[in-house]
Chains A and B, each alone.
Chain A
């Protein structure tokens, strides 16, 4: 983009620039001072919370405004050069600091021993892949990936197809989508209550055991001693949470199929099942792949549900909870980091695939 300024700097322009730096520096100093005051302030919590919000949101707006004011006072050609970095710079700095560098640093930590002083090469990785406990962890992640993804995708597709032909579409989609607004911890409580178990001589307060006992079974601790099936009772929770997401995307894709094609097939004598498998499915393949990729990544990273429901005990531990346990409970920095790197490596194929998808303008 061309700028309106002249290419050569008029005399005295740098002096003006120096003065324009004052508001920016004053904002920075003011924010730092504000932070120190807020940190030690003793006021009612509501006041503190409001002040913190004003400090954070207002501070950011002020920083951008004063930084741009400064950039616009620069001599001619410098405006465009500096301003681009004021726009892109903060986001990139945050990204590199919060995600790119940590990824690299975690790899480095994983090559050291538990307290991070001695370089031990790939020993941590050797430990990760030979530990019997870790093999259970990997098996669980595989279960999550396969069954979590399969059910979330197919149920989402089913609801999308059905609701497309129903008069109650909005209501149905709203209800299925609702769990998306619930936290994993909240969902954990909801499902713990469903799986609750009571001794056989009393009334069951958990819905599942109430049914099970009514059908003649013995009360069962579904998420604890029912191994290895307890993993599936945890996976159900994520299916419940995520089906809304896949449904919304499939619903949009199905509405994008032209009705003429579907009608033509029906006129040619195709029944609904054939229409679904031979026309709809191929036409929304792009969406199916997109949704599947997101859910695969999601299930690979699964953490909250497991930690809330079982804390990773009873053979339900997954990569992310095991990493948390090693690193934060046992202070086993190197080993914990190695587990995190394994998670990262597991996601790489999906990432490469995603990058290719982004390269195609019409993935849908």
Chain B
């Protein structure tokens, strides 16, 4: 009975870690597949799965045999000492440990001699990234030496635009919310309670409801299609949560600090700027990360208020456009998608602990 205990413990820990590892693997594979593919040659992406970069057994080409000029390809042909019809070669002919396989069509094709052995598909390239980032025309050199000239996708330009949208759209709502949170927590004014209830109620208004009226206002004001329009929209949509979370934090700061500051003659503004803001840094920072990720990853708000204005598109819009117009160009899609993920993933992994803890600070109280 007692002798079983260490074994049981080992088995249960094995089961726990095994299931956990399986789930983690399932969760990571999609992203890994994308990352690996983005570095592969476009011919490779379209002919083999990304997992062929790992060692595996497959038919590998060792030689090429071309029928001589004038050979009738509708009758059996003799190539490398074996005679077969086109149809038989097309299906592959086994000779010893080699396979003779017809590549291409009947008229201009040829026979490839292949051997079944261990192989790994490890031709990596940065060409995809160069093309996606480039503006204007871009000439790509493929694995087989051919060159293709296509329009670049100007992801570098839209990366800058996304920064221009995301930074103010993070700072402005947080500043407004911090002022409001301080006001709700430490100032007395008529309508205080009603307004705070309104803030909480607006937490769950779907932003789709608001898009059209806001769009009409922007058109009237003549600012539709500008960065300012997107900032204002993101500010409005981010404010309920920001105000609610920051209120939770700021209202629980110790009362004594405020009282002694007032006795010293400090004004509300001084207290806010010099006492409350530094004290609220953890809450401000964690919400900032959250809002930044949300704004950077947003597609709908940008799509509606910046629209298809060339030159001011955001990374998500640019990517969605590649999906729509060149949905089978996987070399561009994978590289483009990874570029949009680069900044949020960096932010996430460098500030992960902060982010997770900060998210909790708000939600646990909720």
Counting chain A CB atoms within 10 Å of each CB, the highest count among B160, B177, B226, B268 belongs to B268
With beta carbons under 8 angstroms apart, the residue of B16, B168, B214, B345 that contacts A182 is: B345
Closest beta carbon of chain B to A329's beta carbon, Å: 12
Q: Whose C-beta in chain A lies nearest to the C-beta of B34?
A: A190
User: Which of A61, A181, A354 touches B345 (beta carbons < 8 Å)?
Assistant: A181
Chain A proximity of B355: nearest CB distance (Å): 9
Interface presence of A27 (CB below 8 A): no
CB atoms of A179 and B27 under 8 A apart? yes
> How near does chain A come to B226, taking the closest CB pair, in angstroms?
6
Looking at the complex, which of A89-97, A138-146, A262-270 is the stretch in contact with chain B? A89-97
Return B185 CB to nearest CB of chain A, in Å: 10
Contacts of A210 on B, CB cut-off 8 Å? 49, 51
Q: For A297, give the chain B residue with the smallest CB separation.
A: B204
Whole-angstrom distance from the CB of B287 to the nearest CB of chain A?
14
Which residues of B sit under 8 angstroms from A181, Cβ to Cβ? 293, 297, 341, 344-345, 347-348
Interface hits, A150-174 → B, CB 8 Å: 155, 158-159, 162-163, 165-168, 171-174
Interface residue range, chain B: 35 or more
B364 at the binding interface (Cβ < 8 Å): yes
Q: How far is the CA of A71 from the CA of B183 in the complex (A)?
A: 14
Stretch at the interface among A7-15, A80-88, A127-135, A275-283: A80-88
Q: Are A163 and B20 within 8 A (Cβ)?
A: yes
Q: Which of A185, A249, A290 contacts B316 (CB 8 A)?
A: A185
Q: In the bound complex, do residue B340 and residue A183 qualify as a contact, i.e. CB atoms below 8 Å apart? A: yes
Asked if A327 is at the interface of the complex by the 8 Å CB criterion, the answer is yes
Task: Write out the residue numbers on chain A whose beta carbons fall within 8 Å of the beta carbon of B201.
Answer: 351, 355
Task: Give the contacting residue for A88; candidates B180, B206, B231, B319; CB below 8 A.
Answer: B180
Do B269 and A83 have beta carbons less than 8 Å apart?
yes
Per DSSP, are chain A's interface residues mostly helix, strand or loop, or mixed? helix
Check A99–B182 contact: CB distance below 8 A. no
Instruction: Let me know if B214 and A102 touch, CB within 8 A.
Output: yes
Min CB–CB distance B134 → chain A (angstroms): 14
Contacts of B16 in A (CB 8 A): 162, 165-166
Q: For the complex, is A314 an interface residue (Cβ under 8 Å from B)?
A: no
Are B243 and A91 touching (Cβ within 8 A)?
A: yes
Q: Which residues from chain A contact B269 at a C-beta distance below 8 Å? A: 68, 71-72, 83
Q: Are the CB atoms of B168 and A189 closer together than 8 Å? A: no
Are A87 and B48 neighbours in the complex by a CB distance under 8 Å? no
- Determine how close the nearest CB of chain A comes to the CB of B273; give it in whole angstroms: 9
A84 touches B183 (CB 8 A): yes
A330 at interface, CB cutoff 8 A: no
Cross-chain pair count, CB within 8 angstroms: 352
CB distance from A332 to the nearest CB of B (A): 12
Contact flag A178-B348 (CB < 8 Å), given A94-B236, A168-B20, A185-B323: yes
Task: Please tell me if the beta carbons of A98 and B203 are within 8 angstroms of each other in the complex.
Answer: no
Task: Let me know if A19 is at the binding interface, CB within 8 A.
Answer: no
B183 and A87 form a contact (CB under 8 A) = yes
Q: By the criterion CB–CB under 8 Å, are B236 and A99 in contact?
A: yes
B134-193 interface (Cβ within 8 A of A): 157, 160-161, 163-164, 167-168, 171-172, 175-177, 179-180, 182-184, 186-189, 192
Closest to A90 in B: B176
Is A172 touching B24 in the complex (CB atoms < 8 A)?
Answer: yes
How long is the Cα–Cα vector from A290 to B209 in the complex, in angstroms?
Answer: 24
Asked if residues B198 and A308 are in contact (CB atoms below 8 Å), the reply is: no
C-alpha gap A159/B21 in the complex (Å): 10
A293-320 interface bits toward B, Cβ cutoff 8 Å, 1 = contact, 0 = none = 0000100110110011001000000001
B345 CB to nearest chain A CB (Å)? 5
Q: Is B78 an interface residue (CB 8 A)?
A: no
Q: Is B86 an interface residue (CB 8 A)?
A: no
CB-CB under 8 A from B217, the residues of chain A are 97
Q: Is B45 an interface residue (CB 8 A)?
A: yes
B128 beta carbon closer than 8 Å to chain A? no
| Contact assessment for A166 and B20 in the assembled complex, using a CB-CB cutoff below 8 Å | yes
Stretch of A50-58, A117-125, A226-234 contacting B (4+ beta carbons < 8 Å): A50-58
One of B62-70, B106-114, B330-338 contacting the partner: B330-338
Q: Which residue, of A166, A178, A185, has the highest number of chain B Cβ atoms within 10 A?
A: A185
Measured CB to CB, the closest approach of chain A to B352, in angstroms, equals 6
Q: Which residues of A contact B176 (CB under 8 A)?
A: 60, 90-91, 94
Write the nearest CB–CB distance from A148 to chain B, whole angstroms.
Answer: 16
For residue B93, CB closer than 8 A to chain A, the reply is no
User: Scoring B residues 262 to 273 as 1 if CB is less than 8 Å from chain A, else 0, what string do you get?
Assistant: 100101110010
Q: Are the C-beta atoms of B323 and A308 separated by less than 8 Å?
A: yes
Contact A4 B49 (CB under 8 A): no
Q: Is residue A78 contacting chain B, with contact meaning CB distance below 8 A?
A: no
A225 interface hit (Cβ, 8 Å): no
Whether B240 contacts A88 by the Cβ 8 Å rule is no
Interface presence of B29 (CB below 8 A): yes
Pick the contact of B258: A1, A304, A343 (CB < 8 A): A1
Query: Considering only CB atoms, which chain B residue lies closest to A237 in the complex?
Result: B30
Within 8 Å by CB of A178, from B19, B31, B209, B227, lies B31
Q: Are A358 and B30 interface neighbours, CB within 8 A? A: no
Q: Check: B280 CB closer than 8 A to any chain A CB.
A: no
With A94-B235, A165-B13 already in contact, the answer to whether A364 and B186 are too (CB < 8 A) is: no
Q: A91-B243, A240-B27, A245-B359 are in contact. List 16 more A-B contacts (CB 8 A).
A: A4-B265, A45-B157, A45-B311, A52-B164, A52-B168, A60-B175, A79-B267, A91-B239, A98-B239, A179-B31, A183-B297, A183-B298, A183-B319, A202-B47, A307-B299, A324-B208
What are 19 inter-chain pairs, A to B, with CB distance below 8 A?
Answer: A35-B228, A49-B163, A56-B231, A84-B188, A91-B243, A96-B198, A109-B212, A166-B20, A183-B296, A184-B299, A184-B316, A186-B297, A188-B323, A189-B333, A193-B334, A240-B27, A343-B206, A347-B204, A358-B200
5 tightest A-B CB contacts, nearest first: A98-B236, A87-B183, A183-B297, A91-B180, A56-B168
- Tell me the B residues contacting A by CB distance below 8 Å: 12-13, 16-17, 19-21, 23-24, 27-31, 33-34, 37, 45-51, 157, 160-161, 163-164, 167-168, 171-172, 175-177, 179-180, 182-184, 186-189, 192, 195, 197-214, 217, 226-228, 231-233, 235-237, 239-240, 243, 258, 262, 265, 267-269, 272, 293, 296-300, 304, 311, 316, 319-320, 323-324, 327, 330, 333-334, 336-337, 340-341, 344-345, 347-349, 352, 356, 359-360, 363-366
